[in-house]
Structure 1
Amino acid sequence: MMKRTISIFTAIILLFVASLFSAEKIGYIDSEKIIYGYKGSSNLKNQYNKLVAEWENEAQDKKSAIKKLRNELENQDLMLSEETKKKKKKEIQEKEKEYEQFLKEIWGENGKLQKKHEELLKPVIEEISNIIEKIGEEDEYVIIFDISKGNIVFVKTGLDLTERVLYEINKEFTVVSPVKPETEFYVFLFENISSEAESQNLGRQISTFIRAGLNKFAKFEAVEGRRVSEAMSLLGFMKEDELDDNQILLVSRRIDADIVVFGHIDLSSGKITLKLKWINFNSGNEIIKKDFTIDERDKMEKLAGDVMTYLGREIKKK
């Protein structure tokens, strides 16, 4: 059983995030326990305690010096002139002020002791952060919490919703766009899934052919690349050919396309295989899949022709 009790606030966050990413991995750490259990902490503690002892001794010396001056003034009170008494009292006041200032500089807020503590822990904390990031990426965690601090220490790229919220809240101030054509489409860059396909840039070739083919359809118009780039930026995505199906759905809704086409292409054993996926949002959100295969010796135009014949027929059905 955990010795540390998770705060109600942290627990609520964990439950909320878990509900959003129920199919994803979420983890947590206890940074205080990690630092306490770090085997190199004894050396750091020794350095820290040694410095504290030095400052405590210095503080004690200053305090003793003040006490000595007070005793001298008290013992010599009858023998000293008023002028000398004033000087000694002033000296004591200055020493007391110096003592208080010393205590503040060492033990006060943002004092030397606090800064030294942070300085000693900084490399350890950086190492812990690097390890958390490595675990998060290698084990595919979406979010990792620190329950001792109640904050997030790792978050998967693409989960920052800040720009999306800004987009939504600022929509009312956006200039109304011109009337959209009857059918807007976008062909995402196809992913090359083999080095052979990559070397011949087959993904870009087939994307270009399909885009050109759809442009010839009556009342079809391609979504501007700028709109797609802006949508991907808002959603925190980077490259078109690295998007998964769910991410493509998000981008497609953001650009308000009627039809989107995507997929991947492979070149292996003398065969070019195209895994085509497309969505007609006018008929729903279903991802429709179709495979095409041609001989490597055939031209890409043949593959594109087969795809366009298929798409033309299926789009008319819808």
Structure 2
Amino acid sequence: MGVSFPDRRPGLLAGLILLTSVMISPALAGEVGVIDFQTIFDKYEGTADAQKALDLQLREWDDEARAMRDEIESLSTELEGQQLMLSEEKLAEKRASLEEKKNEYQQFAESVWGIEGLAAERNAELARPIAEQILEIVAKMGEEMRYSVVLDAGTGQVVWATESADMTGLVLDELESGLEAAGDQAVEPGAPESAE
């Protein structure tokens, strides 16, 4: 597992819509910049330091998991060797102990390597400041170089945009005016419909 930029899912459609609107709208006739966020992230030296910190933590968790597996294997071997000599009660006790250790291991593994486990948390914790630093630089350069929008080539997602490139309010206004126009043409409840 390597330090990776936290997954930012499909902004491709939003990015393409915004890109199209930037190309079409004369009010937004600015430049569009493109970066490959993942490449920047991977090649930045600070990421190597974060990777070392993550690797160290992963080794510690691996060692802890290995010790737990060794204990389970030892208990299992012991149980097999003593099976014929133990009373039913003692045998059930040892089996319960073995199952408990297996459950502890499963819980540990899930808490560390599960989807929202400690490894994912640590990765995000180490990646977040690097990603924020990259975004700050992109914003600074976007303003200095007078870009309207900067897109991530890898995801198509908008990484940075000027406030004037944000058409959210315009689209909402247009939708509202469309609803008002449709509302003016709507037939009132209880009013007679015209026969055409």
Q: TM class, shorter-chain normalised?
A: 0.7 to 0.9
Shift in Å, 1:82: 0.3
In structure 1, what is the Cα distance between the partners aligned to 2:70 and 2:21? 58
Question: Among residues 16, 22, 25, which one is paired with 2:20 in the alignment?
Answer: 16
Instruction: Report the equivalent of 1:173.
Output: 180
Cα deviations across residues 164-200 of structure 1 (Å, max 9, x unaligned)? 2222222243898xxxxxxxxxxxxxxxxxxxxxxxx
Cα deviations across residues 274-311 of structure 1 (Å, max 9, x unaligned)? xxxxxxxxxxxxxxxxxxxxxxxxxxxxxxxxxxxxxx
Q: Read off the aligned partner of 1:143 and give its amino acid letter.
A: V
3-state secondary structure, aligned to 2:165: coil
2:130 is aligned with 1:120? no
Question: Among residues 66, 69, 75, which one is paired with 1:63 in the alignment?
Answer: 69
Stretch moving more, 164-173 or 89-98: 164-173
3-state secondary structure, aligned to 2:45: coil
2:44 is aligned with 1:38? yes
3-state secondary structure, aligned to 1:158: helix
Instruction: Report the equivalent of 1:106.
Output: 112
Shift in Å, 1:141: 0.3
Q: What is the TM-score when the length of structure 1 is the normalising length?
A: 0.49
Q: Read off the aligned partner of 1:121 and give its amino acid letter.
A: A
Query: What is the 5 A alignment of 1:167-316?
Result: 167-171=173-177, 172-173=179-180
Q: What is the TM-score when the length of structure 2 is the normalising length?
A: 0.78
Instruction: Report the equivalent of 1:51.
Output: 57
Shift in Å, 1:159: 2.1
Question: Among residues 138, 143, 158, which one is paired with 1:137 in the alignment?
Answer: 143
Instruction: Report the equivalent of 1:76.
Output: 82
Q: 1:29 to 1:105 in 2, by over 3 A?
A: same
Q: Read off the aligned partner of 1:19 and give its amino acid letter.
A: M
In structure 2, what is the Cα distance between the partners aligned to 1:157 and 1:42? 34
In structure 2, what is the Cα distance between the partners aligned to 1:160 and 1:89? 63
Instruction: Report the equivalent of 1:182.
Output: none
Q: 1:108 to 1:51 in 2, by over 3 A?
A: same
CA contact (8 A) 2:112 2:119 kept: yes
In structure 2, what is the Cα distance between the partners aligned to 1:150 and 1:118? 21
Question: Among residues 89, 98, 112, which one is paired with 1:92 in the alignment?
Answer: 98
Greater relative contact order (CA < 8 Å, ≥ 6 in sequence): 2
Task: Give unpaired runs (5+ residues) of structure 1.
Answer: 1-8, 177-318
Please say which structure displays the higher CA radius of gyration: 1
In structure 2, what is the Cα distance between the partners aligned to 1:101 and 1:166? 48
3-state secondary structure, aligned to 1:170: helix
2:155 is aligned with 1:149? yes
Q: Read off the aligned partner of 2:49 and give its amino acid letter.
A: N
Q: Read off the aligned partner of 2:180 and give its amino acid letter.
A: F
Identity between Structure 1 and Structure 2 (%): 32
Question: Among residues 18, 31, 34, which one is paired with 1:25 in the alignment?
Answer: 31
Instruction: Report the equivalent of 1:159.
Output: 165
RMSD of aligned residue pairs (Cα, Å): 2.4
Higher strand share: 1
Cα deviations across residues 196-239 of structure 1 (Å, max 9, x unaligned)? xxxxxxxxxxxxxxxxxxxxxxxxxxxxxxxxxxxxxxxxxxxx
Residue-pair matches, total = 168
Higher helix share: 2
Cα deviations across residues 25-77 of structure 1 (Å, max 9, x unaligned)? 11111111111111122221111111111111111110110011011110011
